[in-house]
Structure 1
Amino acid sequence: MKTGVGATRRGVLAAALLALVALSAPTALFAQAADPLPSWNEGAAKQQIRAFVERVTREGAPDFVPVAERVAVFDNDGTLWSEKPVYFQFMFALDRLKELAKANPALAGQEPYKSALSGDPKALAALGEKGLLQIVALTHSGITVTEFNALVRDWLKTARHPRFDRPYTELVFQPMLELLAYLRANDFKTFIVSGGGVEFMRAFTEPVYGIPPEQVVGSSGKTEFALDGDTPVLRKLPEVEFIDDGPGKPVGINRFIGRRPLFAAGNSDGDEQMLQWTTMNTGARFGLIVHHTDAVREWAYDRNSPVGRLDKALDEAPARGWLVVDMKNDWNVIYPFEKK
């Protein structure tokens, strides 16, 4: 073994070469070493997610899935962001209704608008699905798709959540943002498949979730093409075209995505059929349910909640092998603003 000045120089040279290799190594090598889900507590939920992704992305493994088939679908309300005290889109509709009532005061004396404008939570709850749909039809139609998109964007800039006094786009779940990024880093194509309005969601999904508008499937109203002078426009009509909820979700996935998902995430009985469609198939599949169990940092609700009811799907989960994520125990951070 050689010692002395020559050995010392060789040692320094070797260290320098290692440093150069480290600097020139692909970022992905270091990303693999880092925890891709830091807001998830160590435990079974996190382990199951990582084990599944490794199984389907490791070439040569029995459950390997080609990149083209790696489709992941996510519900939005209650799965990617909060949904209490009512769906955020309905909060937008209420604010829009107030503006329309200023221009047309007669609306304030007509039901269901009168009850909606009263601000009384009991009156709002009593509107029922028919009343809510009527309000949405009024507030989401009569304008072009472009004008509607601008209204939603402007509303999201100024509207504040009644409990947290923060913009609604800050009420997204940090662990789910990490999950979306982790799947995309492993060549999954991520889609939103939600009962929310497709035009409403497309106004913010790309900057908030990294999901472009063409990868958003949602409920939709009818639109019509027209020429406004020499300007082509799509005008929103007060008629329902498609409800992307419950059994409508597999229909929407087939119609707008065209591939059966490998991974599906939801939080309510409205996602049950989407989870069934995804997981009740051959090969490796993954179903995930976000269970709202944290009354301190968010809300705790499931079987009896009028918003985001989780009853049948919760009972079905063990038999189907769906992962039920316990928000209180599985997440060390819920919202991005909680990060230190």
Structure 2
Amino acid sequence: MGKIKSFVYVFILVTATLVSCKKEITIKSEVQSAQTNPLPSWNDGPVKTAIMDFVAKVSTEGSPDYVAPEDRIATFDNDGTLWCEKPLVQELFVFYLVKKEAEKKPELKEKQPYKAILENDTAYLKTLHQEDLVKLVVSTHTGMSAEAFATEAATFFANAKTPSGMPVAKIVYQPQLELLEYLRNNGFKTYICSGGTTDFIRAISQQYYGIPPEQVIGTQFKSEYADTTGVNDVMRLPGLASFNDKQEKPVNIWQHIGKRPILACGNEGGGGDIYMLRFSQGGNKPSLQLIINHDDEAREAYYQEKDNKSLNWAAKYKWQVISIKNDWKTVYPSK
């Protein structure tokens, strides 16, 4: 009987050890995989190689191209670069605010553009010009405190979906999430530099991208501090202080960070990011410029610039063009 007990004890001990070893091997395998292939959603090719070579040379001490951690700044556009921009999520937020305002003030339901949005926001979205969008953004995003706006944005994102029914949280680009993490793991500080409004993006920057709110640069409204009865907050005023697009992006990067990014990533679509990429090339440190080409009509919204300016600049200044069709194994997160 004692021999049986001893055998059972040894069997349990060996089994537990094997299970433990298997778990340890699995963990080590996952760690090694993450180290050897930190960008699993990227296809092997010139772009992926260029990214990894650049990160290695600027983060390896002793390398002639070594850049100190405090200068490893990376800036990313948001719409069309970190998440899908067809449709613009900020447009969906505008419609959300319009509908809420119309509920409070029924007389607005018969006025334009409220009437058109309430009747068919998807149809109105297709006809919306940038100038009209800016006017709507200004009218719906102001006249409230900073805290009140933050609450509205958080409420919107809690249940936000695209017209196709996809949760907004699912339209982020998986390869870009990997790239952001890879950069941070190698001593980079990652920033968002977007034409979207700062406080809107701050509502999800940490949750979606691991980027804290203070590292978001966006379009800014005029504002003032108010300390009156029942109010002690920054009030959002009707009027733009800075529209963070095109040539304004380098200006705001410098004002916000005080340094040039050594890596800048944007997308073709309206020429809004090319000056940020050029700005990152103007310093005395090694730099890398990435621009996304929306060339995959099967998995993502396909669109190209009529004048091809962004891709022409990419060829002229030797930027890396990320082809969604060819460089990304997957576009959106699987979970």
User: Superposed, which structure 2 residues align to 1:43-62 within 5 Å?
Assistant: 43-62=45-64
User: Superposed, which structure 2 residues align to 1:168-207 within 5 Å?
Assistant: 168-207=168-207
In 2: Cα distance, 1:214 partner to 1:138 partner:
25
The structural deviation recorded for 1:328 is 1.0
* TM-score, structure 1 normalization: 0.85
Q: Provide structure 1 residue ranges, at least 5 long, that are not aligned to the other structure.
A: 1-18, 305-309
Is 1:99 aligned to residue 96 of structure 2?
no
Structure 2 residue aligned with 1:117: 118
Q: Map Cα deviations across residues 123-153 of structure 1 (whole Å, 9 max, x no partner).
A: 4454433322221122111221111111111
The structural deviation recorded for 1:231 is 5.3
Q: Which shows bigger deviation, 266-275 or 154-163?
A: 154-163
In 2: Cα distance, 1:71 partner to 1:28 partner:
28
The structural deviation recorded for 1:120 is 6.0
Q: Which amino acid aligns with 2:52?
A: R
Is 1:316 aligned to residue 313 of structure 2?
yes
Structure 1 residue aligned with 2:293: 291
Q: Which amino acid aligns with 1:188?
A: F
* SS of aligned partner of 1:270: coil
* SS of aligned partner of 1:302: coil
User: Superposed, which structure 2 residues align to 1:233-248 within 5 Å?
Assistant: 233-248=233-248
In 1: Cα distance, 2:253 partner to 2:30 partner:
31
Match of 2:331 among 317, 329, 334: 334
In 1: Cα distance, 2:154 partner to 2:231 partner:
22
Give the direction of change, closer, same or farther, for the CA distance of 1:157–1:120 in structure 2 (3 Å limit): closer
Computed over aligned residues only, the root mean square deviation of the Cα atoms, in angstroms, reads 2.4
In 1: Cα distance, 2:158 partner to 2:31 partner:
38
In 1: Cα distance, 2:114 partner to 2:54 partner:
48
Structure 2 residue aligned with 1:108: 109
Structure 2 residue aligned with 1:63: 65
CA contact (8 A) 1:112 1:127 kept: no
Is 1:275 aligned to residue 256 of structure 2?
no
Q: Map Cα deviations across residues 224-255 of structure 1 (whole Å, 9 max, x no partner).
A: 21125365211211111111100000000010
Structure 2 residue aligned with 1:135: 136
Give the direction of change, closer, same or farther, for the CA distance of 1:69–1:133 in structure 2 (3 Å limit): same
In 2: Cα distance, 1:215 partner to 1:135 partner:
26
Q: Provide structure 2 residue ranges, at least 5 long, that are not aligned to the other structure.
A: 1-20
Aligned residue pair count: 310
CA contact (8 A) 2:262 2:285 kept: no
Percent of pairs with identical residues: 39
In 2: Cα distance, 1:195 partner to 1:71 partner:
19
In 2: Cα distance, 1:176 partner to 1:314 partner:
20
